[in-house]
Amino acid sequence: MTTPSGSNGQEPPIPELIGASPAMQRVYALTRQVAQSYASVLLLGETGTGKELIARAIHRLSNRAAAPFVLVNCGALSESLLESELFGHVHGAFTGAIKNRTGRFEAAHTGTIFLDEINSTSLLLQVKLLRVLQEREFERVGDTQTIHVDVRVIAASNRDLWQLVQEGKFREDLYWRLNVVPINIPPLRERREDIPALVAHFLDYYNEHNERFVLHLERAVIEVLQQHNWPGNVRELQNYIERAVVTAEGDEVTLDLLPESIRGGPKPSNLQRADLASLTREVVSRGLAEAMEDDQELHQNVVNRVEKE
C-alpha cells in the first residue's frame, strides 16, 4: 500500500517521515534548508512527535551523511553516567572503570551528535556541553589530555527551554548556542489530516513484521482517531495500530480493538467496512483542501469523506 505522504507539496526529506499537512510542510522545508549548513539546531516538541526522525533527516541530507550519527538520550542516565557516556573515561576514573572508554562526542567525530531531552541535563554538565560547542574540545573523565572533535550538534527538548532559563534550570549561554536554528515539531492534534496516512503506514509496517493481513478499517475507527487529543502524539497512534494488527481476529481493524479510553461516547450505528487504501487516497491526496484551520471543521470534513466511501 503506497501512501501519498507529500503529494500536495514537498516530499518528506526521508521516507520514515509521514504527513502532508501544512504544519509538516513547513518542518520539511526548514529541515532541508538547515541540513546544508553547519549551524546547531534545536528541535522543540512534545514527546512522541518525531524529533529523532527530523534529526536523522538533517544528518542524511547534510555533507556529513557518510559519517556517524550518534544518538544520546540525556534523560535516560544519571549525571555521572551521562558525563562518562558523552565524554568517555579512562581506566580508574571511578569505581568500575576497568578500561578506557570512548565517549559519544568522540564517536561522532566528523558526523552528527543528537542530544535528546537536553532539558534534563544538570547545570554542571551544561557547562561542559557549552565548552564543546564553543571550543570543540573536552577531556575524558579522569584524564587531562584534551581531545578535539569536529561534530555537528542537534539538540531536542520536550519542554520550553527559555522557561527553564527563566527558572534558573538551564544556562542562558548554552541556550543561545543551541538555539541557532529552532524547529518546532507540531503535535499530532495540530495535524489531524495526517492521521489517515500515518494509520496506513503503521498498518503496512506491522502487517509485514507480524505476518498479518489486516487490510480494512471500520468506518468508525478513523472518526474516533480524529477526535482523540493524542497526548502521546504519533508514538501513541503507532502503539494503538500495532495492538490492533496483533489482536485482530480477521482482516479488519474494528472499533473494539482500540483502547476504551479513546472510543468512549456514543458509537455510530452504521459500521461498515472501509478499505484503508481508498480512504487514504481520498483524504490525503486531496489534502483536505476545503478544510478550515479549526480542528472541529477538519474532523467533520474527514467524517464526511468517510461516509461517502
CATH number at residue 45: 3.40.50.300
Q: What is the pLDDT of residue 279?
A: 55
Query: Length of the chain in residues, anyone?
Result: 309
Specify if 3 maps to a domain.
Answer: no
Nearest residue to 17 (alpha-carbon basis) of 66, 52, 43: 52
284 with 196: CB under 8 angstroms?
yes
Strand partners, 69: 112
Long-range contacts of 3-9 (CB under 8 A, 24+ apart): 3/197, 3/200, 3/201, 3/204, 3/280, 3/284, 4/197, 4/280, 4/281, 4/284, 4/285, 5/197, 5/201, 5/284, 7/284, 7/285, 7/287, 8/285, 8/287
**Poorest-pLDDT segment among 25-29, 91-95, 216-220, 284-288:** 284-288
Q: What is the pLDDT of residue 95?
A: 65
177 and 205 inside one domain: no
Quote the distance between the C-alpha of residue 309 and its chain's center: 32
Give the separation between CA 282 and CA 293, rounded to whole angstroms: 19
243 and 174 inside one domain: no
124 and 229 inside one domain: no
Interval 91-113 mean pLDDT:
82
Q: Write down which residue in 142, 161, 184 finishes a domain.
A: 184
145 and 241 inside one domain: no
Q: What is the pLDDT of residue 140?
A: 85
Specify if 285 maps to a domain.
Answer: yes
Specify if 7 maps to a domain.
Answer: no
Q: What is the pLDDT of residue 93?
A: 60
The 10s digit of each residue's pLDDT in 61-97 is 999 999 999 999 999 988 888 988 999 877 556 666 6
Q: What is the pLDDT of residue 193?
A: 95
Specify if 156 maps to a domain.
Answer: yes
**Poorest-pLDDT segment among 171-180, 239-248, 254-263:** 254-263
- Whether residue 151 has pLDDT greater than 50: yes
Q: Write down which residue in 136, 156, 184 finishes a domain.
A: 184
Cell numbers for 238: 503507532
202 and 254 inside one domain: yes
The domain containing residue 173 runs over which residues?
22-184
- Whether residue 306 has pLDDT greater than 50: no
Q: What is the CATH number of the domain that holds 198?
A: 1.10.8.60
166 and 230 inside one domain: no
Q: Which of 135-149, 193-207, 272-286 has the highest mean pLDDT?
A: 193-207
Cell numbers for 293: 484551520
Specify if 8 maps to a domain.
Answer: no
Q: Write down which residue in 134, 154, 184 finishes a domain.
A: 184
Q: What is the pLDDT of residue 97?
A: 66
Give the separation between CA 62 and CA 32, rounded to whole angstroms: 9
165 and 203 inside one domain: no
Give the separation between CA 17 and CA 60, rounded to whole angstroms: 13
Q: What is the pLDDT of residue 88?
A: 85
The 10s digit of each residue's pLDDT in 168-227 is 999 999 999 999 999 999 999 999 999 999 999 999 999 999 999 999 999 899 899 999
112 and 221 inside one domain: no
Q: What is the pLDDT of residue 89?
A: 76
Interval 49-58 mean pLDDT:
97
Report the half-sphere exposure of 20 (CA within 13 A, side-chain side). 20
Specify if 12 maps to a domain.
Answer: no
Q: Which tops the pLDDT comparison, 163 or 272? A: 163
Please state, for a pLDDT cut of 70, what percent of the chain lies above it.
Answer: 80
213 and 176 inside one domain: no
pTM of the model: 0.80
Q: What is the pLDDT of residue 269?
A: 40
- Whether residue 280 has pLDDT greater than 90: no
The total number of structural domains that make up the chain:
2
180 and 192 inside one domain: no
Interval 6-19 mean pLDDT:
78
194 and 207 inside one domain: yes
149 and 204 inside one domain: no
**Average per-residue pLDDT for the chain:** 85
Specify if 26 maps to a domain.
Answer: yes
Interval 8-21 mean pLDDT:
85
Q: What is the pLDDT of residue 36?
A: 92
Q: What is the pLDDT of residue 276?
A: 54
Specify if 17 maps to a domain.
Answer: no
Q: Which tops the pLDDT comparison, 38 or 305? A: 38
